[in-house]
Amino acid sequence: MKGIGYEMDELTREALADVAAAGTAADLKEVEVRWLGKKGRVTALLKELSALPPEDRKARGQQLNALKREVEAAVEARGREVERLEAEAAAARERPDVTLPGTPVRAGRLHPLTIVTEEIVDLFERMGFHVLDYPEAESEFFNFDGLNIPGDHPARDMQDTFYLADGNLMRTHTSPGQVRSMRDLDPPYRAIFPGRVYRCEATDASHEHTFYQVEGIMIDRHVSVAHMLHSMMSLLEGVFRRKVEVRLRPGYFPFVEPGFELDLRCTVCEGAGCPVCKRSGWVELLPCGLVHPNVIRAGGLDPGEWEGWAFGLGLSRLVMMRYRIDDIRWLLSGDLRLVRQF
């Protein structure tokens, strides 16, 4: 004969098996409702208590309450487990596959002109030079007259210079900074001014209407060609990161006396002759010289007291030599394929 204890054991086993079989939070909720809900089995049994004879009611009530607590505890424990299992399943579903190829991220690059300018600025700052920035739209005075370029000089011809409607012009070189810096700074001083310059020229592989120069100047009581050469060699060896071969030739510029052209042994062909050096093995890179007394005077200084040297580096050409770029028009082409190579 099945006693009441036996019946309770059966019920407990059945309920616990039900709970254990719930594989998801939703299943478990159903099991909980089935047993403990308002119309659940345990609830129904508890409701029947009042129909029992009073002497049985107490024992039966205790058993049912024990059952209820046991099922509640089991539901709670299973709830935690199911939650963990579901979290694990979700993590497995969402775990990134690190062997998949990534989405490419294209980083920005510096333009080669920017890279070399920054290197030159860094180099000269460490040698005690100021780094100055002067206007690209310039007056005739600073671009020409102040630089001892008389009114009938061919450089003032309309073909070479972009004139502005207001009578000013786009500077044709960075040399106006020579006069400006003498007026801005107290001598002795050293300075460079990198920047964009403009010439009204037909473009080809080695000519551009807009290009870059870096002017260097030193003003002191006594300056020497030797110190000028040293500064220019530091510049070239800093940019090329090796010994370079140069030669100094006389060169004429109205604002220097004596004037020179510093040529660089072509770094593209090592002097053997190539299109970049026009088969000569040498590239004209650094015109320079001792600042003409008239220019010192235009800068507001007494040429009896102050001397100077100056150079005008062809930065665009230097960049082309350094990176073996064979057409100057690449530099301002805006073509990202160029920039992505550096």
Contact window for ligand PHE (CB under 6 A) among 122-130, 265-273, 284-292, 319-327? 284-292
- Using CB under 6 A as the binding rule, whether residue 312 contacts ligand PHE is answered as yes
Q: Name the residue nearer to ligand PHE (CB basis): 203 or 341.
A: 203
Contact window for ligand PHE (CB under 6 A) among 47-55, 87-95, 234-242, 306-314? 306-314
Q: Phi then psi for 70, rounded to 5 degrees?
A: -65, -45
Q: Name the residue nearer to ligand PHE (CB basis): 192 or 288.
A: 288
Query: Which residue has the CB atom at the shortest distance from ligand PHE?
Result: 312
Q: Residue ranges of the alpha helices (H) in 54-195?
A: 54-94, 112-126, 140-143, 176-184
Q: How many of the chain's residues bind ligand PHE (CB under 6 A)?
A: 11
- Using CB under 6 A as the binding rule, whether residue 310 contacts ligand PHE is answered as yes
One of 129, 212, 253, 330 touching ligand PHE (CB under 6 A): 253
Give the CA radius of gyration of the chain.
44
> Omega of the bond prior to 254 within 30 degrees of 0, cis?
no
- Contacts (CB under 6 A) with ligand PHE, residues 162-221: 173, 175
- Dig out the tokens for 121 from the structure: 């600025």
Min. distance of Cβ 216 from ligand PHE in angstroms?
Answer: 8
One of 311, 316, 320, 331 touching ligand PHE (CB under 6 A): 311
Min. distance of Cβ 175 from ligand PHE in angstroms?
Answer: 4
- Using CB under 6 A as the binding rule, whether residue 288 contacts ligand PHE is answered as yes
One of 113, 132, 256, 301 touching ligand PHE (CB under 6 A): 256
CB environment 30-68: b (16+ within 10 A), e (fewer): ebbeebbeeebbbeebbeeeeeeeeeeeeebeebbeebb
List all residues 6 or more positions away from 289 whose beta carbon is below 8 Å from its beta carbon.
251, 253, 255, 256, 257, 258, 259, 260, 309, 310
> Omega of the bond prior to 293 within 30 degrees of 0, cis?
no
Min. distance of Cβ 173 from ligand PHE in angstroms?
Answer: 3
Min. distance of Cβ 104 from ligand PHE in angstroms?
Answer: 43
Q: What is the DSSP letter of 261?
A: E
Q: Residue ranges of the alpha helices (H) in the chain?
A: 4-21, 25-36, 41-48, 54-94, 112-126, 140-143, 176-184, 225-240, 293-298, 315-323, 336-339
- Using CB under 6 A as the binding rule, whether residue 289 contacts ligand PHE is answered as yes
Q: Contact positions toward ligand PHE, by CB under 6 A?
A: 173, 175, 253, 256, 259, 287-289, 310-312
